[in-house]
């Protein structure tokens, strides 16, 4: 951080503020404490009968790989609204959110995924701007070697396991154990 986003001062100090436990940037000009927090990614597992809707990414990272419709949460929306918005943006699909399916943390890149069980309201879907194509997959046809992200693989695997066991009402929690030396 080079400038205070509130007053524009370059007088920034990186230290632990009084009453806190982690170092933060503090502006020497206006004394604003700048908190930097993880990014929240919201998404859905849109289903129709026994099929799951996946999107082939048209953008980096992992262009050409398959994913669930997911993306960064926006200010002013709930996590459920964000998941429905991302599904509409990436797959032109309308869904009804059922429940939170998984929470997946990636501390190394400061991301937290919240993925919801959902059902397609209709079969009127198509590729959005960030997708090359969208397709409904049966479990046996999911292109596992072409899944874009570890959080998506975790969500799909646990969803399928929970569906087999009749436990779609539970939330799974996972994390990516990435060493700082590894390339994400």
* Mean pLDDT on 2-7: 96
pLDDT band at 148 (very low <50, low <70, confident <90, very high): very high
- Give 183 or 29, the one with higher predicted confidence: 29
Q: What is the CA radius of gyration of the chain?
A: 19
Q: Which CATH architecture has domain 39-175?
A: Alpha-Beta Complex (3.90)
Q: Would you say residue 28 has pLDDT above 60?
A: yes
Q: Which CATH architecture has domain 1-36?
A: Single Sheet (2.20)
Q: Would you say residue 51 has pLDDT above 70?
A: yes
Domain(s) of CATH 3.90.79.10: residues in the chain: 39-175
In 59-139, the DSSP E strands lie at: 66-67, 70-72, 95-106, 111-120, 131-137
DSSP string, 130-161: TEEEEEEE-GGG--GGGB--HHHHHHHHHHHH
Percent of the chain scoring above 90 in pLDDT:
90
Name the token pair of 11: 């007088």
pLDDT tens-digit series, residues 71-120: 999 999 999 999 999 999 999 999 999 999 999 999 999 999 999 999 99
């Amino acid at each position: 951080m080079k400038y205070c986003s509130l007053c524009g001062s370059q007088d920034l100090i990186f230290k632990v503020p009084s009453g806190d436990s982690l170092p933060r940037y503090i502006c020497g000009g206006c004394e604003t404490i700048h908190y930097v927090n993880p990014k929240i990614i919201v998404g859905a597992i849109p289903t129709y009968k026994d099929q799951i809707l996946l999107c082939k990414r048209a953008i980096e990272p992992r262009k050409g790989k398959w994913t669930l419709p997911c993306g960064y949460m926006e200010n002013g929306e709930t996590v459920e609204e964000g998941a429905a918005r991302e599904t509409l943006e990436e797959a032109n699909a309308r869904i009804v959110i059922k429940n939170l399916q998984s929470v997946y943390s990636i501390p190394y890149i400061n991301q937290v995924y919240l993925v919801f069980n959902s059902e397609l309201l209709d079969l009127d879907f198509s590729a959005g701007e960030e997708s090359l194509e969208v397709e409904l997959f049966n479990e046996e046809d999911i292109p596992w070697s072409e899944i874009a992200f570890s959080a998506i693989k975790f969500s799909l695997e646990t969803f399928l396991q929970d569906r087999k066991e009749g436990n779609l009402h539970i939330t799974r929690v996972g994390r990516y154990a990435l060493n700082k030396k590894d390339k994400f």
